[in-house]
Amino acid sequence: MVTSASRRLAVAIFAIIAGLVLQVDGEKQWWRTTTIYQIWPRSFKDSDGDGIGDLNGITSKLEHLNDMGIETLWISPIFKSPLVDSGYDVSDYLAIDPMYGTLEDFDNLVARAKELGIKVVLDYVPNHTSTEHEWFKLSEASVDPYTDYYMWHEGILDANGTRRPPNNWLSVFNSGSAWQWSDKRQAYYLHQFDVSQADLDFRNEVVIEETKKIITYWLDRGAAGLRIDALPFMYEDVELRDQPLSGRNVPPTDYFYRLPIYTKDLIEDYELVQIWRDHFDEYNAKANDGLERVIITEAVANASLMCLYYNYGSDIPFNFLFVTNSGIPVDAKTLSPAEIKNKIDQWLEYMPEGETPNWVLGNHDKNRMATRFGSEKIDMLNFIFLLLPGVMTVYNGDEIGMPNTYLTWEETEDPQACSTDPQRYQPYSRDPERTPFQWDDSTSAGFSTNSTTFLPVNTNYRTVNLAAQKAADKSHYKNFQAAMRLRNTTVAKDGALKTLVIGEDVFAMSRELDGHDPLLVVINWSKSPVTVSLDEFSNFSEKLQVLLSDVNNDLKVGDTVSRSSITLQGNAALVLTSSDITCSDYSDVSEVACLITSLKSFFNV
């Protein structure tokens, strides 16, 4: 098996898990230290007043990404769709949904992003299509070559002679059987998600060739890569065996009622990524333009299964260890300094040598950071994860600490939630993290000139919005911007990583590189003050200088604290450096020291 790493310039990574020291050397491809900003297109910016975000809205706000220092934009589904599942039900892979705009609008977005130095990555949903897709209509009518594009089965007859699905597989959307009868074809089709999302049959090589054509089309239009959705569901057991019971106390129609061992995480899923990797490599070689197009894979699983995608050509197999754990959300109740260190160590342990780590704190499918962890922990999490080595993915709105928006049953649109009932819908709904971006305190939070939006704007928008945080001396957004500036220093990109848990409540990590100013992140996870020693970080001077502090902290840029004894406020988050660094002559070596003056001005200190 040829790994993706074997085709690239070597990057030596040595991990010593006992305090976790990670050393990264060598020349990198553009994506190895990038920050990815995910935009949910319906909720980012409405340009035409219909209450729905669109491509021109995104283009109009690309300067916001530039102001943050974002290098990569990932746009969630924009292909033509009936929008039963927010665009994850595609009816035409080669067209933009009219709700979002046109192909010309897309081309303009890519062109403007390129002017700003931002690369565009698109969401690609290959596992299934909408039942409105022309392929499905022809397949349902048994028109070749489309007859076997999808998973069809005539079903089985029970003892009473009643026809029923071929097995007990359940829909991820908790709607019962994953099989739906078609009167037209006189057979069942598989839908692992919504009934309107028919699963393609990837054991049909013609289907794989179709996916290559789609990939080529969007790379030709300027996409710098694709984020491939729902990868663990591509292949199913050829014998269609029944799933075993899970033992969970959930209704029989709930997806977690059974263990999906025959429909998820099959080895063929990984092998399919290798096929796409080869296609990407062939495309890059033919393009010969110096741009390596990137493959990002979405597969929610344990660390070993997620990291296995590296070996099959995924550049960035999304790391969901800080988002979900066996279907249980990772939040303030389940996370601790020890768990933060454990999850960082775990990913780096399973990650193959020569690959690049990545970190995800939020997305369109899980409760927002501010809701899962509390607004008081936003700065500490951003400081940690923006200053870890590798790739960081940020969900739009998390830079200002937007929380979930409460939505009633009547306001809920998500099919995953709507398949339940008014008493059970909230844990299943993804709508609360998909509400409009809060730009300012004007109509609809500046998202739209229309007072009616596709989902309601959070009622807190008059105080939680980008404009207010830009105007404040100190805010989550300003801390995010400043952390991004530190992230772009050489020590943050290439320095060794050391992580440490002190007592029960303090997590600390350093980034060090010979000849460069070092960085030290310290957080107090508890609500109470705590005094600790940071002498384990002996390469730092006794007096430490503050670079960044959380929004509620009394310490300011340039203040000094003692390494041997530092008192941290409750929920404190600090980024420190040695106090003996200087910026007499700006150079690559003294980047951090030379940022201090500008950070003081930035925070009006």
- Please return the burial class of 583, using the count of CB atoms within 10 Å of its CB with bins 0-12, 13-18 and 19+: middle
Active-site residue, from 229, 315, 376, 398? 229
Q: Is 229 a catalytic residue?
A: yes
Residue 178, φ and ψ in degrees, nearest 5? -85, 10
Residue 595, φ and ψ in degrees, nearest 5? -85, -20
Q: What is the mean pLDDT of residues 420-449?
A: 93
pLDDT, one tens digit per residue, over 275-327 is 999 999 999 999 999 999 999 999 999 999 999 999 999 999 999 999 987 66
Among 438, 412, 437, 434, residue whose Cα is nearest residue 423: 412
Active-site residue, from 298, 345, 399, 494? 298
Residue 575, φ and ψ in degrees, nearest 5? -115, 125
pLDDT, one tens digit per residue, over 213-252 is 999 999 999 999 999 999 999 999 999 999 999 999 999 9
> In the beta sheet, which residues pair with residue 163?
157
SS (H, E, C) 263-304: CCCCHHHHHHHHHHHHHHHHHHHHHCCCCCCEEEECCCCCHH
Distance CA(109)–CA(68), nearest Å, equals 18
Angle between helices 476-487 and 591-602 (to 10 degrees): 160
Is pTM beyond 0.95? Reply is no
Q: Give domain 5-15+29-126+205-233+264-471's CATH architecture.
A: Alpha-Beta Barrel (3.20)
Q: What is the mean pLDDT of residues 39-63?
A: 98
Residue 523, φ and ψ in degrees, nearest 5? -135, 145
**Domain(s) of CATH 2.60.40.1180: residues in the chain:** 496-602
* Cis-peptide into 456, omega within 30 deg: no
For tokens 């969630």, the residue is 76
pLDDT, one tens digit per residue, over 469-522 is 999 999 999 999 999 999 999 999 999 999 999 999 999 999 999 999 999 999
Candidates 1.10.3720.10, 2.60.40.730, 3.40.50.300, 2.60.40.1180; correct CATH number of 496-602? 2.60.40.1180
Distance CA(322)–CA(339), nearest Å, equals 9
Q: Work out whether the CA dihedral 418, 424, 425, 428 comes out positive or negative.
A: negative
Would you put residue 299 in left (φ > 0), alpha (ψ -120 to 50) or beta?
beta
Q: Is 298 a catalytic residue?
A: yes
**Domain(s) of CATH 3.20.20.80: residues in the chain:** 5-15+29-126+205-233+264-471
